[in-house]
Structures are given as C-alpha cells and as structure tokens.
C-alpha cells in the first residue's frame, strides 16, 4: 500500500484531544493536523519525536495534514488505525496468510454478534464462513517483542467474546493482530496493562478462536504486510 502523496518529515510538538497534533515541518512551518489514532499511542507521542505526515488536497478536510509515521526505537512505526483492515485484506488475497486464503468472497464491515461489525467476513460454499477481527498493534517495551493492548480496552474484550460465540456456533473466528512496525519478531498479549483483556483472550482461545499476528514492512513510500510472527503463550502469572 503506497501513500497517496509523499510524506513530509516534521518534529512533533504535541498530541492532544486524542485526534489532533501540532508539529513543525522541516521548512519551519507550524501545522495542526489530524491524528488517525484515538488510542493511547503509548511511547509514540513524545514531544520532539520525528514524525512523517501526509498532506491531503481535499477541500472538505478541516486539517490538511494527518500523522502517518513516528520514528521510535530506531524504526518507522505506523500509527494510522485506518489502514490495518486493508492491509490484512491485502495479506489474505496475496496468500501471506495461508489459512485464510482461497475463500470465494471477502466482505468488509459486516454486522454480526450482538451489536458489532466484523472487520472482514470470508465465505465459501465448501469451507463455510470465517469472521476476521483486526487489531492495530505498535506498542513495544523490549527489543523484538510487540504487545497488545497498550491500554485498557473493554471494546477489545467484547470483540473476543463475540468471536468466541461465533466459534461455538460452528464458524471460524480469527483475531488478526496487524503490527505496524518491522522490528519485532513476536507478539504478546499485554496482561499487566489490561488483565481483563488477557482473561478474555484466554477464554476466546479455549472456545475455538484462532489468533494470528502479521508484521508489516514500512518505508517512507509504502506500508505492506510482510510476514507472520508467533504469538507467545500467556504466562499464568499474567492472568
């Protein structure tokens, strides 16, 4: 997935109200832009961080710039939560995720469960239906290990519960963690920051939910799904 326009380097001044940021472009211009990530962005929003922003030419946008990449831990980290669904779809259609390849149809944003919309729904007359939920991941505390979540997410726990219900109903239910950084070789569920999510994850796995982690390769020109990485088992002390 190539960026629509060349990214502009800048220095982050602050991120605030979850969806706004101020930055200084290398030209010296101070801008206010939109931050397409309402999560905590733990470790990725420090003032003074080098960032890369996208310039939009739409006349209807309130802010011309949006935050796309942050330089952290010596690598580029994607923070745009609007990209993971399309990236996982790309990974499926390219065959990068063999267990999800070959379904006859793929649809986005379909209603399911009690009050949710599944990110991707796969259907096949022989293989049946697969519900695929996608989570954006970019939190790193130690070399080589990326973690999810980076803050409490009751919504994320609810999604695991609803995937579990689909698995028990006889469908495939798959949680895909999309890693928007290329410096991690494995993923772990972050039980210390959100014990309830860790418990929901363990329960979902016992009910038949599958979990996969897809790592991306990121450059200043594009972001692309690159490889599957293993998910560590949760130690008993973390749940």
Residue with tokens 């599957």: 228
51, 88: one domain: no
Tallying the residues shown for the chain, one arrives at 239
73, 95: one domain: no
Number of helices (H) and strands (E) in the chain: give both, helices first.
Answer: 3, 15
From 234, 219, 208, 217, select the one nearest 148 (Cα to Cα).
Answer: 234
50, 12: one domain: yes
72, 125: one domain: no
Tokens of 237: 């002390």
Tokens of 38: 């309402």
Of the residues 63, 78, 93, the one at which a domain ends: 78
Whole-number Cα distances in Å, 78 to 35, 145, 234, 237: 11, 16, 26, 31
CATH number at residue 15: 2.40.50.580
In a domain, 184, yes or no: yes
In a domain, 190, yes or no: yes
92, 71: one domain: no
CATH number at residue 202: 3.40.1350.60
Of the residues 78, 112, 140, the one at which a domain ends: 78
Of the residues 78, 99, 125, the one at which a domain ends: 78
Average confidence (pLDDT) per 10 residues, the chain, 239 residues: 93 96 97 96 97 91 96 97 97 97 96 88 97 98 97 96 97 98 97 96 97 98 97 72
Q: Indicate the burial class of 47 (C-beta count within 10 angstroms; 0-12, 13-18, 19 or more).
A: exposed
The number of domains in the chain is 2
Alpha helix segments (H runs only) across 111-153: none
172, 230: one domain: yes
Helix (H) or strand (E) holding 155: helix 154-168
In a domain, 40, yes or no: yes
Measured CA to CA, the distance from residue 109 to residue 149 in angstroms comes to: 22
Domain containing residue 129: 84-238
Measured CA to CA, the distance from residue 12 to residue 5 in angstroms comes to: 20
Say how far residue 193 (Cα) sits from the centre of its chain. Answer: 17
89, 170: one domain: yes
């Amino acid at each position: 997935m190539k960026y629509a326009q060349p990214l502009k380097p800048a220095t982050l001044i602050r991120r605030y109200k979850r969806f706004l940021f101020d930055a200084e472009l290398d030209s010296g211009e101070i801008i206010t832009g939109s931050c397409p990530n309402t999560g905590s962005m733990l470790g990725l929003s420090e003032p003074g961080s080098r960032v890369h922003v996208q310039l939009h030419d739409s006349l209807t946008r309130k802010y011309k710039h949006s935050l796309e990449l942050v330089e952290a831990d010596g690598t580029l980290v994607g923070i745009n939560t609007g990209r993971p669904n399309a990236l996982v779809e790309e990974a499926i259609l390219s065959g990068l995720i063999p267990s999800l390849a070959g379904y006859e149809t793929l649809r986005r944003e379909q209603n399911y469960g009690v009050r949710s919309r599944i990110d991707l729904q796969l259907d096949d007359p022989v293989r049946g239906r697969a519900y695929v939920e996608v989570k954006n991941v970019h939190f790193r505390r130690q070399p080589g290990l990326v973690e999810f979540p980076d803050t409490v997410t009751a919504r994320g726990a609810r999604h695991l519960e609803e995937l579990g219900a689909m698995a028990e109903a006889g469908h495939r239910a798959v949680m895909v963690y999309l890693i928007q950084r290329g410096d991690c070789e494995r993923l772990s569920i972050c039980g210390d920051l959100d014990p309830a999510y860790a418990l929901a994850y363990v329960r979902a796995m016992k009910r038949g939910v599958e979990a996969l982690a897809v790592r991306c390769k990121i450059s200043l020109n594009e972001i692309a799904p690159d490889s599957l990485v293993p998910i560590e088992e949760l130690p008993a002390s973390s749940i």
